[in-house]
Structure 1
Amino acid sequence: MIIERAYVSAVPSDADEGEWPWSVPCVRGLVADGLRLTAPVTYLVGENGSGKSTLVEALAEGFGLDSWGGSHDWRYASHRPKSVLGEHIRFDAAPRGRRMLGSWRARRGFFLRAETALDALDREGFAPDAVSHGEGFLAAFRGKFLHPGLYVMDEPEAALSFTSCLELLGHLDRLVRNGGQIVCATHSPLLTALPGADIVEVGDHGVRRTAWDELALVEHWRRYLADPRSYLRHVLD
């Protein structure tokens, strides 16, 4: 493990609890109790708007990764300032993590977000023009996601087929075996089935740990695949 707990060091004195991001239930939970990371792979799962992307972006920023996507040693030309939440993220780290946080040269990691991934990877030399969007993702995992470090991901399945998601799972497993730690926001029942992963469900309740077969998204996919009409009759004229 590299990071064992994330927390908010202090809420700004001028923060309004009724405004974003402090109004988001999972952010309120982070402020109140922090977020323990108990396994090498942590999945954040929730509906659109639940705050999971807000959390992973803040975690990436707190570790020193570019909020727009990229590695620890690269920044977008605009030098975007940290978000109001990311600016106040702190970590309780394991010994390896303390060494990384204590030295910029020792720090390793990458923030992969779906909407900017190919741009970030192209700038770092890992997105050949001759391949598809999804293949560019996988090329990055083959060539960049190799070493111990903190790898933060926001919906990496967005560009991937079913088969490619299975390949991604293999890459994630090898990465953690090599000493990496992963925090990933996802909607994928396939990715969250990774054995040994910790699953944190975010929503109106805040944050809570759950098992794969208790996830709402897993139940919905089961029901939909068993009988698509039971869902489609509510959305189609």
Structure 2
Amino acid sequence: MIIERAYAHRPAHDEDAWPWSVPCVRQLLEEGLRFTAPVTFLVGENGSGKSTLVEAVAEGFGLDPYGGSHDWRYASPRDKSALGERMKFDAAPGRGRRMAASWSNRKGFFLRAETAMDALDREGFSPDSVSHGEGFLAAFRGKFLHAGLYVLDEPEAALSFSSCLELVGHLDRLAKEGSQVICATHSPLLTALPGADIIEVGDHGLRRVAWRELGIVDHWRRYLADPHAYLRHIVEP
């Protein structure tokens, strides 16, 4: 573990504006967000705020908000978010405290699905001869090597079923080698990683759930059992 808790101070004004009005952000401001396992998944609908949270965690740790490693922080023109500017951490004992004490000791990578290939190319890692999904996997194999904080925003976006399984193996390896992973995802496959902490994000704010209790797991199970039960409400006869 690297960080045990993320928190931020409420701004003096604009409390009803985005992102302060988002339920999960309000809960973060009031209670903070504790991390209890080396791998944490944030799961929720589009617009629930999960990507806002992981981006702010990455920014607070010193990772470039555009995406990339700690060594390339703020190399892009993208500014830090309002929440990222206020993000603070309680470090875990050992490696976490050493990283928190010194910027030069901080290691990690922020992978955003929409900017991942550009960020990798900027860092001199350009798998041009492979597909988008294969490029993602090449990044996991070639860049996710050292103990650090790895923040991922929907990494499954470019991956097939079998490639997602490979990613699960990479995440498991990182956790066992002393890294910490915080990942926003829609994937029931990724969230099934044994030992992972799962936090469901929504109108309720933040709540920890078991994998089989996730809404996405229930929907996928029922959809695969009977697609027509869903599609009859979507597709015109």
TM beyond 0.5: yes
Distance 1:87 1:49, change over 3 A: same
* Alpha-carbon separation, structure 1, partners of 2:76 and 2:133: 27
1:219 partner letter: D
Is contact 1:29–1:207 with CA below 8 Å preserved after alignment?
A: yes
2:61 partner letter: F
* Alpha-carbon separation, structure 2, partners of 1:154 and 1:112: 6
Specify the alignment match of 1:196 in structure 2: 195
Q: Deviations over 1:192-222 (max 9, x none)?
A: 0000000000000000000000000000000
Q: Deviations over 1:106-160 (max 9, x none)?
A: 1100000000000011112333100000111100111110111000000000000
Match 1:91 to one of 78, 89, 92: 89
Distance 1:146 1:198, change over 3 A: same
Is contact 1:3–1:92 with CA below 8 Å preserved after alignment?
A: yes
Specify the alignment match of 1:104 in structure 2: 103
* Alpha-carbon separation, structure 2, partners of 1:120 and 1:192: 25
Q: Deviations over 1:1-53 (max 9, x none)?
A: 11000011x22212x22210000000000001000000000000000000000
Give 1:1-237 correspondences, 5 Å limit.
Answer: 1-8=1-8, 10-14=9-13, 16-75=14-73, 77-95=75-93, 96-237=95-236
Gaps of 5+ in 1: none
Q: Deviations over 1:77-105 (max 9, x none)?
A: 44433211001110011131221122122
> Which moved further from structure 2: 99-108 or 212-221?
99-108
* TM-score (norm. length: structure 2): 0.97
* Alpha-carbon separation, structure 2, partners of 1:80 and 1:220: 36
* Alpha-carbon separation, structure 2, partners of 1:153 and 1:224: 27
Q: Is the partner of 2:109 in helix, strand or coil? A: strand
Q: Is the partner of 1:82 in helix, strand or coil? A: coil
> Which moved further from structure 2: 158-167 or 78-87?
78-87
* Percent identity over paired residues: 78
* Alpha-carbon separation, structure 2, partners of 1:223 and 1:109: 37
1:158 partner letter: A
Gaps of 5+ in 2: none
* Alpha-carbon separation, structure 1, partners of 2:166 and 2:79: 35
Is contact 1:43–1:200 with CA below 8 Å preserved after alignment?
A: yes
Is contact 2:63–2:74 with CA below 8 Å preserved after alignment?
A: no
* Alpha-carbon separation, structure 2, partners of 1:216 and 1:76: 36
**Aligned-pair RMSD on alpha carbons?**
1.0
* Alpha-carbon separation, structure 2, partners of 1:126 and 1:140: 8
* Alpha-carbon separation, structure 2, partners of 1:127 and 1:24: 36
2:234 partner letter: V
How many residues are aligned here?
235
Q: Is the partner of 2:233 in helix, strand or coil? A: coil
Q: Is the partner of 1:199 in helix, strand or coil? A: strand
Q: Is the partner of 1:195 in helix, strand or coil? A: coil
